Amino acid sequence: MSRTGQNGAQGGGTAALVLFSGGQDSTACLAWALDRYDRVETVGFDYGQRHAAELKAREAVRARIAETFPEWAKRLGRDETVDLKGYGAISETALTRETRIEIGESGLPTTFVPGRNIMFLTAAAALGWRRGVQTLVAGMCETDFSGYPDCRADTIAATAKALSLGLDREILIETPLMYLTKAQTWALAQELGGDELVRITVEDSHTCYLGERHPHPWGAGCGRCPACHLRAKGWQEWRAETASGAGA
Ligand code: ZN
């Protein structure tokens, strides 16, 4: 677990705003926040992703979590989708237009959207300002990820500092997955919400870059894109650890 922001104090308030895309990581983050804060709101961003599957998954995951976990349902607050299509138009990557997903000339995957997480955190902080929420929870992770520079703990810490200065109030950015592997993210879901949360993650969350929803043991997806690969690999590692008792 990591905590970034200007100080290392516990979330402070009893409210948090989760950057919630409807994927595996942000589903784990939502559960993590529901376990800790009295009020948890969610925000999603529509930046012209090629597929709407992700945005649909948000509603499905939220609804099923509320239905399955009554204690969490009481804490789960509003959801908002912020329209950032103008930003998607500036960034023009494989996630927002029909481009092959591969490693580009810059050495970064073509799915890299420049500045995306900084933009999302800034928009979330602005929304939090309106709602009186200063703690943001986000699923950035620098472990076994695709090398996105804006997922690094340093980037997040610097963003928290810039936002705290620029908004003149302390903005805390919690990134519970920062140092977890994908296998450990499955284990975290299990720890927080048992088999039911694992089932919700498998059946309702969406990670596939291509927006496909073919059923697999680890969830719905194309099974071939980098996001599906990462998710499947994490699932298999976690299952293997669980089977051997190492994860117990
Ligand atoms: Zn896929």
15-73, pLDDT tens digit by residue?
999 999 999 999 999 999 999 999 999 999 988 765 678 878 999 999 999 999 999 99
Average pLDDT over residues 107-115: 67
The alpha carbon of 49 and the centre of ligand 1 are apart by a number of angstroms equal to 14
Contact 198, 189 (CB under 8 A): yes
Query: What is the residue-wise DSSP string for 141-209?
Result: --SSS---GGGSHHHHHHHHHHHHHHHTS--EEEETTTT--HHHHHHHHHHHHHHHHHHHHHHH----T
CA distance 114 to 159: 14
205-243, pLDDT tens digit by residue?
998 988 899 999 999 999 998 889 999 999 999 999 988
Contact 201, 182 (CB under 8 A): no
pLDDT of residue 108 exceeding 70, the answer is: no
pLDDT of residue 136 exceeding 80, the answer is: yes
> Which residues, by Cβ under 5 Å, contact ligand 1, an ion?
208, 210, 221-222, 225, 228
The alpha carbon of 91 and the centre of ligand 1 are apart by a number of angstroms equal to 21
Predicted pLDDT at 50: 58
The alpha carbon of 119 and the centre of ligand 1 are apart by a number of angstroms equal to 25
Say if 74 falls within a structural domain.
Answer: yes
Contact 238, 226 (CB under 8 A): no
Residue 161 is part of which domain span? 2-181
The alpha carbon of 108 and the centre of ligand 1 are apart by a number of angstroms equal to 18
Predicted pLDDT at 93: 59
Say if 166 falls within a structural domain.
Answer: yes
Say if 192 falls within a structural domain.
Answer: no
139-182, pLDDT tens digit by residue?
999 886 566 788 889 999 999 999 999 999 999 999 999 999 99
Say if 112 falls within a structural domain.
Answer: yes
The alpha carbon of 25 and the centre of ligand 1 are apart by a number of angstroms equal to 15
The alpha carbon of 78 and the centre of ligand 1 are apart by a number of angstroms equal to 29
Say if 60 falls within a structural domain.
Answer: yes
Q: Tokens 């920062």 belong to which residue?
A: 178
- Among 77-81, 92-96, 115-119, the least confident range: 92-96
Contact 33, 15 (CB under 8 A): no
The alpha carbon of 232 and the centre of ligand 1 are apart by a number of angstroms equal to 10
Predicted pLDDT at 170: 95
Say if 130 falls within a structural domain.
Answer: yes
Say if 34 falls within a structural domain.
Answer: yes
Number of separate domains in the chain: 1
CA distance 69 to 143: 29
The alpha carbon of 83 and the centre of ligand 1 are apart by a number of angstroms equal to 24
CA distance 181 to 131: 32
Provide the 3-class DSSP secondary structure of residue 79.
strand
pLDDT of residue 84 exceeding 90, the answer is: no
The alpha carbon of 31 and the centre of ligand 1 are apart by a number of angstroms equal to 24
Say if 14 falls within a structural domain.
Answer: yes
CATH number at residue 87: 3.40.50.620
pLDDT of residue 198 exceeding 70, the answer is: yes
